[in-house]
Structure 1
Amino acid sequence: MHRLGLWFLSVVLAFVAFPFQEVFASSDPEMESESAILIDGTTGQVLFEKKSRNKMYPASITKILTAIIAIEEADLSETVTVSKKATEVEGTTVYLMENEEIKLQRLVQGMLINSGNDAAIAIAEHMDGNVGRFADHMNRFLKKKIGAKDSHFVNPHGLFDENHYTTAYDMALITRYAMKNKTFGEIFGTKELKWKGEGWDTILKNHNLMLHRYDFVTGGKNGYVDKAGHTLVTTAKKGKTELIAVIMNAKSSRIAYKDTTKLFDFGFSSFNKKQLTTGGEFYSDTGQKFKLTETLFYLERKGEEIRTRITNDGLLLLKDKNNKVVLKKSLTAIKPEKKEEALASDYERKDANKGDEKNFSYFWLIFTSFIAFLTLGIIRWNRSRAS
């Protein structure tokens, strides 16, 4: 009896403990950094955020934008001649020499992997003549190609300037855009690179230590200046789930790495991948009909359910339990029948109904007449018998 009681108690405790384990596993991570965000790299769906729209100073994660502009809008095989101004920049460098000739691709590698400020200036001057014009180029690129609205850059490297700012959300958008480019992704994920230049012969090691500490990390860039604190952008992929984490204004690099690890652990363990297929139809509140033209994938938090709503202009909104929009997707309208065809059909139905009504009237007239004649005949026959 004693053993049976212990067994029963253990079973009850297991069932009671299980839901608490689920809740604990999917609880929001606590961030020590001032600002942070975690998004799904495939769709851009926001999975977690803390003050992600606040204006922050980016430091060297600025170089993500500089790199993707160079990769997309210049020929990486071009030879760049390094200016004196580039060699005089403060901060981290790859020790470029004045008048040194170097391929543009090598500059992008030195800038992303070793955070070379001199390489960033050499890229800017090669593409637009000077840093100011390249900064204008950066801001146009932000708005037109990426859709980042709360950023303004004045240099290609991220050294402090009050007018050089962004948000964790915008940096996530920038990184998501950049990661669609295969060349960028390869450089962004390079852990080590042999470097042989006129002023430096070494092996470059990626400054983002998440590449060496977290199994699923695919790329990263870190940054630091006094007024920006420690900033960190990292990408990771596990199975079919791709995540992007951004940390801004951490008090130390240890905190930045710790918070990034928490974000990835949370993202990979707390969500299931779901999809909406192209076969279904969607209706707005007013009954307008829409359809998906391609399968939509999204992440649903365990223990919660994503709800959908369709606006009258065909925007599919995915909302979490707090009614917060986590993902948007434009739908294609399904056109109703043409009014002329609909009217013609109505007239045809009315004509058919009229025909049915006429036929019914004729039948009823004949039937009632037959009954009347039959009744009259019966009456006359009865009278004749009586007489």
Structure 2
Amino acid sequence: MRLMMLISLIAGIFLPSAVRVQAEELKEENVEIASDSAILLEGNSGAVLFEKNGDKKMYPASLTKIATSIYAIEKGNVNDLVTISKNATEVEGTKVYLEEGEQVTLKHLLEGMLINSGNDAAIAIAEHIDGNIEQFVKNLNHYLQEKMLITSTHFTNPHGLFDKEHYTTANDLAKITQYALQNSTFKEIFGTKQLEWHGESWNTTLYTHHLMLKGEIPYHGIVGGKTGFVNESKQTLATVADKTSMDLIAIVLKGKDKGVVYNDTINLLNYGFSYYKLDKIRSGQSFFKDGKTFLSTKEEVLVIPKRDSSINVASDGTLQIKNEKNKLIQKIHLKEISAAATPKYGEKPLNEMENTHKDHFESILFTVLIIGLSCLIVCKKNRRWLKRLIS
């Protein structure tokens, strides 16, 4: 209480009104998203920091190529030479202008597909990996279900051209992107801004279509991204940003134009970086709840709101982190080791965990503020004496 009174007094004297308003601007309810669906995921932990219609069935357009890429990388050999079919050259939409019979490495096709969104490259990749498009999409859907536990996605092609049975959700796309980013080859291509392309019929420099990654819409920390558009899906956008060791994945679906999806993405990233911070719990760390002892089974990254958060062990034995709206943002499974136990020396029950850090911080801050105020008072009283001393 004394700390809050002191902070309020100093803030009222020294801080401009714009700064005092900033805390209110960080709240989730102030994040305005105009697109139909969006999600913000922290990549290290899988914590969902914000979502709007995250589980709503949507058409992804070329964000499909994120899934195609990671599946092809994990199943194929990026050094393989791929022979381009007539079928690949005849696909609609954006291309890298492959020629029938041309031979291109699988990695170069992945680059053409992710950087320039080449639909012909996507067809060539699918045919090389599984022989034909039908077998590829069957295997791709199975791969997503088995590897990433994706349950609300069904793809009918490798590129994202519209099909009413080709759908996903913002939530699933965020999980797919999170998984894909663990692969160094995917991460490298996903973050490439420009690349020299030398084909049989097209020599050019490919530039990413993602305006934030390209730098046309400046935003510090952008490390990867993919755009998408078909009439039925409108604008779609996947963006990855890395600042202060926090990896944020923003998926925005069905924005009416490019301005909307980029503005929504910036709002999501600003909210994530401003409002949340990372912490860790070690493997084997003890937590205590209602006379029971729980252990973390591995080191875990925690994403914690910078204010107004709660960290508790729930009745099902999970460690739960909630934001200011009491919304669950992260859940970690713990192992119960005894029916009753007392904390070891130097440890505190989980319900005191957040207060331990808070009290320690407040004690330090209170001391610093007291010293600062004392210095101001002393300097004011002895201003004449100081002037004489300096002169």
TM-score norm. by structure 2 comes to: 0.79
Give the equivalent residue in structure 2 for 1:349.
none
Deviations 1:4-28 (A, max 9, x none): xxxx999458498755331124453
Is the counterpart of residue 318 in structure 1 residue 321 in structure 2? Answer: yes
Aligned 1:203-218 pairs, distance under 5 A: 203-211=205-213, 212=215, 213-218=218-223
How far residue 284 of structure 1 moved from its aligned partner, in angstroms, is 5.4
Deviations 1:93-141 (A, max 9, x none): 0000011111111000000000000000001011111111110111111
Aligned 1:7-26 pairs, distance under 5 A: 11=12, 14=15, 19-26=20-27
CA contact (8 A) 2:277 2:303 kept: yes
CA contact (8 A) 1:172 1:245 kept: yes
Q: Assess, with a 3 A threshold, how the Cα gap between structure 1 residues 279 and 142 changes in structure 2: closer, same or farther.
A: closer
Give the equivalent residue in structure 2 for 1:354.
none
Distance 1:308 1:192 in 2: 46
Give the equivalent residue in structure 2 for 1:264.
269
3-state SS in 2 of match to 1:334:
strand
How far residue 148 of structure 1 moved from its aligned partner, in angstroms, is 1.4
Distance 2:266 2:18 in 1: 26
Distance 2:52 2:12 in 1: 39
How far residue 47 of structure 1 moved from its aligned partner, in angstroms, is 0.8
Q: Assess, with a 3 A threshold, how the Cα gap between structure 1 residues 50 and 10 changes in structure 2: closer, same or farther.
A: closer
How far residue 40 of structure 1 moved from its aligned partner, in angstroms, is 0.5
Distance 1:326 1:109 in 2: 34
Match of 1:219 among 202, 214, 224: 224
Distance 2:34 2:67 in 1: 26
Q: Assess, with a 3 A threshold, how the Cα gap between structure 1 residues 108 and 154 changes in structure 2: closer, same or farther.
A: same
Q: Assess, with a 3 A threshold, how the Cα gap between structure 1 residues 322 and 9 changes in structure 2: closer, same or farther.
A: closer
How far residue 275 of structure 1 moved from its aligned partner, in angstroms, is 2.7
Aligned 1:1-387 pairs, distance under 5 A: 11=12, 14=15, 19-27=20-28, 28-211=30-213, 212=215, 213-278=218-283, 280-283=285-288, 287-312=291-316, 314-334=317-337
Distance 2:135 2:333 in 1: 35
3-state SS in 2 of match to 1:289:
strand
Q: Assess, with a 3 A threshold, how the Cα gap between structure 1 residues 322 and 194 changes in structure 2: closer, same or farther.
A: same
Letter in 2 for 1:228: S
CA contact (8 A) 1:26 1:302 kept: no
Q: Assess, with a 3 A threshold, how the Cα gap between structure 1 residues 15 and 77 changes in structure 2: closer, same or farther.
A: closer
Deviations 1:16-59 (A, max 9, x none): 87553311244531011111111101111111111111100000
How far residue 64 of structure 1 moved from its aligned partner, in angstroms, is 0.2
Distance 2:337 2:95 in 1: 57
CA contact (8 A) 2:34 2:255 kept: yes
CA contact (8 A) 1:292 1:332 kept: yes
CA contact (8 A) 2:304 2:321 kept: no
State the superposition RMSD in angstroms: 2.2
CA contact (8 A) 1:309 1:318 kept: no
Q: Assess, with a 3 A threshold, how the Cα gap between structure 1 residues 331 and 93 changes in structure 2: closer, same or farther.
A: same
Q: Assess, with a 3 A threshold, how the Cα gap between structure 1 residues 76 and 10 changes in structure 2: closer, same or farther.
A: closer
Distance 2:31 2:42 in 1: 16
Letter in 2 for 1:140: H
Distance 1:10 1:152 in 2: 53
Q: Percent identity?
A: 45
Unpaired runs of at least 5, structure 2: 1-8, 341-391
Letter in 1 for 2:320: L
CA contact (8 A) 2:82 2:124 kept: yes
Distance 1:239 1:10 in 2: 26
Q: Which range is displaced more, 317-326 or 211-220?
A: 317-326
3-state SS in 1 of match to 2:125:
helix
How far residue 288 of structure 1 moved from its aligned partner, in angstroms, is 4.2
Count of residue correspondences: 328
CA contact (8 A) 1:291 1:333 kept: yes
Distance 1:220 1:72 in 2: 20
Unpaired runs of at least 5, structure 1: 1-7, 338-387
Deviations 1:324-380 (A, max 9, x none): 32112222332679xxxxxxxxxxxxxxxxxxxxxxxxxxxxxxxxxxxxxxxxxxx
Give the equivalent residue in structure 1 for 2:362.
none
